Structures are given as structure tokens and as C-alpha cells.
Amino acid sequence: MPVNMISKLLEKAVLPALDVAPPVKIGESRRTAVLRNPNMEKLQKGYLFPEISIKHEEHLRKYPDAKVISLGIGDTTEPIPSIVTSAMAEYALALSTPEGYQGYGPEQGHKNLRKVIADTVYPDMGIKETEVFISDGAQCDIARLQTLFGPNVTIAVQDPTFPGYVDNGVIVGQTGKVDDAGRYAGIEYMRCAPENAFFPDLARVRRTDVIFFCSPNNPTGHAASREQLRQLVEFARRNGSIVVFDSAYAPYVSSSGGAGGAPRSIYEIPGAREVAIEVSSFSKFAGFTGVRLGWAVVPDELLYADGSPVARDFDRVVCTCFNGASGVAQAGGVACLSGEGRAAVQRVVGVYRENARVLVETFASLGKEVYGGADAPYVWVRFPGRRSWDVFAEILEKTHVITVPGSGFGPGGEGFIRVSAFNSRDRVLEACDRLKSFLA
């Protein structure tokens, strides 16, 4: 049989079996023959915060002279304390010398930073430096954890919730299609509303493999109590689930986690080491939104169903997908957690906490139903009977103040807006005056 005839027969037999697009002739189209990841088609519109940026730009084109105040995307504005930037500068300058130059560091992070996090952030909780993995931010860790878990796990999220948990799950393939209410098939949405003290009724929550839980919560500003987290840990232990606990806003908790108070770490709860991974970040308490530095804690006791340690696989994912956080950023992280550094960054946290207090008082004085702001830099305001995007648009149009529509955080956020305390005091006070004039 001629060779060209064999080739044609092979093409007919192989192409359908492999489910690949037929090759495109040169000049016929600019398309490749690579099929698109079908999970990308499931994503709703754009990611929330870039969508807000687009609305911001559109508003400026419409009102070029407007002095827009952003209380939307949670980007910090206060300068990083000089004790921290000095440490980063010293590290950077040392790179110009033969003695101080350093190339690749350990993918898991510099030993001194891992140790200071274990000792300072998790005192008396049994966390070892080898269980701490340094990263370029909590959101990046969430994506790496989703890669670790793979497409065959089931997940639960608070509703409303930070959109990264859901969108990463969609991309990895953990979900089905989205319905008209914005809920993805395959995700358990744990309703967290004023009516249930922003904590899900776990008796009505379907068992899932992984539970994403953020406290203090973004967007509602609620910090879960010790009793609530105890219930969460016990729920995970009964069901053999893993909790991914996002503590990025823990430094905003005003109590020490004592009786009735809000713990700053899931590991303050007995038994959590066997069921929980904690991710955190320097972004929102040290102003590292542009520097990029975070960490994940994966305890040795956390095991898969076959008895193998989760930390071993996470280490492999980190080593495969990541070359380690910037050494300059890590030097800054060590400085943040020194005695003087902690005092300095806590003063910055105090600025945002006071901003949040002012925002809460402003909305309360206007008769609005307002939550959060006490242990978190976010204020959660209800507008009954209104669609969140409509409220967002009206406030922007009438006051030139940017907020975030609650529905962007899931179906449970409809009828709310999130207002961020991340801005200078003068800008927050000006925004409050504008909001009073409009909402009064």
C-alpha cells in the first residue's frame, strides 16, 4: 500500500480518537490546533477586581475631572515602615557585593523567615519551621493548593466568599456549570449572613473534601469566634475533610482569642493540626501588596486517606511550580516580625482599623444595616431590595466613590456592598462626607 494512502487512513483513525482539532492550513486562519481548556468557558465574565478597575476607568473617561476615591479593591495605601524597607534595602545592596550576593534560595523559603513565623505568629501552637512554606502571597498559595488537590475533590466555600477560591476551582475542573443565581454545580455554598451570625449551619452543610474558610472574613468583615471555629474543626474531623483557613486579616483581630474572642489562627483550636492548612500574607498588615510575600502552614499530622502526608505533596508542588519568594521581600518579612517591626506595622493596622470604625459610624448614622469593621478592614452594608451592581453604579455616579458590589462575592452577597478601609484618613473622611450627602 502506498505511503500516502497509509497516512490518510491513519489521520482518519487517529484524529477522532484523540479528540483534537484538525490542523489548520497555513494562510487559512490564525488559529492553532490547540483545544481550549473547557473549564475556562465556565468562568463568569471577568475576575471581580479587574472588572472594578474597568468600571473605574470608564467613569474617569466620563468625568475626567472627578476626584475619585477608591474604597473598593483592598489595596493598601499607607507607607511601609522604614525599619522594614531599610532591611530590604540592605539586603538588595548586599547583592552588589561578592560576599552578599545570593542566587536561588530554597523553594520553601529562607530558614530564618520560616522560623520567625513559626515562633512569632504561632507561639505555643506546635508549629515547626519545616511546616511553614514561604510564598509570593496567599492568593498564589490558593492556586497552588487547588493544583495539589486536583479536579476530583469536592469543595465548600462560605457564601459570600473571596472569589479566588471558586474561580481557581473552576479552572482546575472541580465544578460543573454555573446556574442563573451564580452558583456552580459541584460546590457547596455555606450561607453566611447576619441571620446566622455569619457562620454556616453545619448540620445542613453537605460533606465535601475541602472547605475554604476565611476569618476575619473577606468580604463580610466577620471574625469567627473560638466556638465557631471549634465547630468547624470538629465538622472537618467527623467528615475527614481538609480546611483551608485563610488568615490574611488576622492582625486586625482586636481580641486575643480568649473566651468568646476571635482566634487569629485555626491552630488555636485543638485538633486543627490534623485537618487544616493555613494560608496568610504580609500584604494587608505590612503593606506588601506590591512587594508580594505570604506563607502556608501544612502540618505533618495532616494526612490523605491513604496515610501519606499532605505536606510532602505540597512540597513537590512548590518545588515544581515556584522558584521561591524574592530574597528582598523575605528580608522585609523578617523585619516585620521583629519586636520593633511588629510595633511599627501594628501602628499601620491601627490607621486602617480607625478608618473602618469611621465608615461603620457613617453608615450607621444614615440608618444603614452595617457589619464588619471591628476586626477587619472591610465594612459590609446592606441595601434591602436593591441589586448590588446597581448600588455600586449609583454611588459611583453620584459621589465618585468606588465600592465593591456584594454579588461579586457570590449569590449570598446580593443586596450588599463591601467598603474598604484601605485609604488615607483624609480620603476616607472625604468619602464619608460624600456618602452622607448622597444617602441622607
Q: What is the 3-state secondary structure (H, E, C) of 192-257?
A: CCHHHCCCCCHHHCCCCCEEEEECCCCCCCCCCCHHHHHHHHHHHHHHCCEEEEECCCHHHCCCCC
- 346 domain-assigned: yes
Q: Are residues 55 and 94 part of one domain?
A: no
Q: What is the DSSP letter of 330?
A: H
Q: What is the DSSP letter of 303?
A: B
Find cell 479566588 and name the residue. Answer: 164
Q: Are residues 398 and 320 part of one domain?
A: no
Q: Are residues 362 and 276 part of one domain?
A: no
Question: In the chain, how many domains are there?
Answer: 2
- 218 domain-assigned: yes
Question: pLDDT above 90 covers what percent of the chain?
Answer: 87
- 227 domain-assigned: yes
**Comparing 9-23, 75-89, 199-213, 360-374, which segment has the lowest mean pLDDT?**
9-23
Q: Are residues 296 and 156 part of one domain?
A: yes
The larger pLDDT score, comparing residue 440 to residue 28, is at 440
Q: Are residues 413 and 284 part of one domain?
A: no
- Spatial contact of 202 and 232, defined as CB atoms under 8 Å apart: yes
Indicate the SS3 state at residue 353.
helix
* pLDDT exceeds cutoff 80 at 19: no
* Omega before 160 within 30 of 0, i.e. cis: yes
Q: Which helix (H) or strand (E) holds 120?
A: helix 111-120
- The residue from 305, 340, 375 where one domain ends is 340
- 306 domain-assigned: yes
| CATH code, 70 | 3.90.1150.10
Report the pLDDT averaged over residues 372-399.
97
- The residue from 312, 340, 368 where one domain ends is 340
- The residue from 321, 340, 359 where one domain ends is 340
Q: Are residues 208 and 134 part of one domain?
A: yes
Indicate the SS3 state at residue 295.
strand
- Spatial contact of 225 and 262, defined as CB atoms under 8 Å apart: yes
- 174 domain-assigned: yes
Task: Name the grid cell of 150.
Answer: 486536583
Q: Are residues 324 and 372 part of one domain?
A: no
- 167 domain-assigned: yes
- 21 domain-assigned: no
Report the pLDDT averaged over residues 35-49.
86
* pLDDT exceeds cutoff 80 at 10: no
pLDDT level of residue 254 (50, 70, 90 thresholds): confident
**Comparing 24-28, 101-105, 286-290, 399-403, which segment has the lowest mean pLDDT?**
24-28
Q: Are residues 127 and 176 part of one domain?
A: yes
- Spatial contact of 83 and 335, defined as CB atoms under 8 Å apart: yes
Which residues, other chains included, contact 262 with Cβ-Cβ below 8 Å and sequence gap of 6+? 215, 216, 223, 224, 225, 226, 253, 255, 375
Which residues, other chains included, contact 166 with Cβ-Cβ below 8 Å and sequence gap of 6+? 157, 175, 184, 187, 410
pLDDT level of residue 44 (50, 70, 90 thresholds): confident
* pLDDT exceeds cutoff 70 at 384: yes
Whole domain around residue 421: which residue ranges? 48-74+342-439
Q: What is the pLDDT of residues 176-230, one digit of tens each?
A: 999 988 899 999 999 999 999 999 999 999 999 999 999 999 999 999 999 999 9
Q: Are residues 249 and 229 part of one domain?
A: yes
- Spatial contact of 205 and 156, defined as CB atoms under 8 Å apart: yes
Burial class (CB in 10 A: 0-12, 13-18, 19+), 25: exposed
Average pLDDT, the chain: 93
* Distances, alpha carbon 410 to alpha carbons 159, 165, 347, 383, 418, in Å: 6, 11, 33, 16, 12
pLDDT of residue 8: 56
The whole-angstrom distance between residue 333's C-alpha and the CA centroid of its chain comes to 19
pLDDT level of residue 47 (50, 70, 90 thresholds): confident
Q: Are residues 64 and 155 part of one domain?
A: no
pLDDT of residue 50: 84
* pLDDT exceeds cutoff 50 at 162: yes
pLDDT of residue 258: 47
| CATH code, 150 | 3.40.640.10
Q: Are residues 319 and 406 part of one domain?
A: no
Report the pLDDT averaged over residues 250-273.
85
- 137 domain-assigned: yes
Which residues, other chains included, contact 192 with Cβ-Cβ below 8 Å and sequence gap of 6+? 158, 159, 160, 198, 199, 200, 217, 220, 222, 412
pLDDT of residue 26: 56
Q: Are residues 346 and 297 part of one domain?
A: no
